[in-house]
Amino acid sequence: MVTYLPFYRLHEVASYFVKNVELVRPERAVAFIDNVFNEGQREVARGVLPKGVEYVFGNWGSRDDTWIAMLEWLRSSGVEGDALFVDSDNVLTGDFPEIHRLLLKAAEENELRAYGVLDLECWEGGAAHFLRRSELSDVVGVFSYRVYDPRFFFKGGNPFFWGPKQAVYLGRLPDEGLVEGLASALSRVTPYLRNLLSDESLLGVMAWLSGVDRVPWTVASRHLHHGSGRAGDELSVARAHAQFAEGLWRAFRKREFLAYSLKYKAVVLREAVKALF
């Protein structure tokens, strides 16, 4: 089981992640702590972080860079799959072990044996953002989210999107070369813009390139919102996506990434004109 969080949210390991570890009882529990660049920070962290969890410190600088680091670290540690990533401000519901078995059944023909988890708070709010690209699967109570939807080239929203990801399960890690390509594409995004790329976008591309069309999901967590996030303006978000899409095209030469690039370049132009007038 894995979680990831910036240094200033260290408290979430003890507040939430440990509860998930106690519920799931994984063979290994690992927390990736971002924005750590000084030994003094490591000393502070070690003084307050709970025992029984492995800690990996880094200064990756964005959620997506941290995802690349996590996938690379797991493979280098001999882990080939059966990995559950839980957002640091989420607590899995008590029936999660049973739900895990249902989701695995729904993911049997999925190349990554992957699934996602939605939080109860979003579900109670209607979950419209996710339901518009989902349909019911053959497993009762489980939805199936379309990770690539070309309709979104012509309207708001990203054509590449993982779907619910308060928790993400990968029964098999993506190929090493694919992760290297994603890292190369991400490196083409201006560093201060990278946190404007949602990790759902990176994961959606990863799934699609792995041959996954749909990701099963259901409701199985409580989201204890940390409240520290800030939304980016539309121009900056579009710039981040346009740069990422250009990097994907260079790395993978898929025509879908050209269309992705063109969509967000058009949004950049539109927002730049709006800013002028």
At 68-122, the pLDDT tens digits run 999 999 999 999 999 999 999 999 999 999 999 999 999 998 999 999 999 999 9
Q: Which of the four pLDDT bands, split at 50, 70 and 90, describes residue 155?
A: confident
Asked if residue 226 has pLDDT above 70, the reply is: no
Q: Give percent of the chain with pLDDT exceeding 70.
A: 98
Q: Which of the four pLDDT bands, split at 50, 70 and 90, describes residue 61?
A: very high
Over residues 38-55, the mean pLDDT reads: 96
Position 230 scores a pLDDT of: 62
Q: CA 63 from chain center: how many Å?
A: 8
Rounded Cα–Cα distance for residues 204 and 160 (Å): 5
Position 229 scores a pLDDT of: 59
Asked if residue 227 has pLDDT above 70, the reply is: no
pLDDT single digits (tens) 168-216: 999 999 999 999 999 999 999 999 999 999 999 999 999 999 999 999 9
Residue 36: CA count within 13 A, CB half-sphere: 23
Where along the chain do its domains lie? 2-276
Residue 137: CA count within 13 A, CB half-sphere: 24
Position 228 scores a pLDDT of: 59
Q: Is 119 left (phi over 0), alpha (psi -120 to 50) or beta?
A: beta
What dotted CATH number matches 2-276? 3.90.550
Buried b / exposed e across 175-200, counting CB within 10 Å, b at 16+? eeebbebbbebbeebeeebbbbbbbb
Position 154 scores a pLDDT of: 87
Pairing of strands 214-223, 115-119: parallel
9: nearest Cα among 87, 102, 119: 87
Asked if residue 8 has pLDDT above 70, the reply is: yes
Distances (CA, A) of 168 to 35, 226, 254, 265: 22, 19, 25, 30
Mean pLDDT computed over every residue of the chain = 95
Rounded Cα–Cα distance for residues 139 and 242 (Å): 37
The pTM is what?
0.95
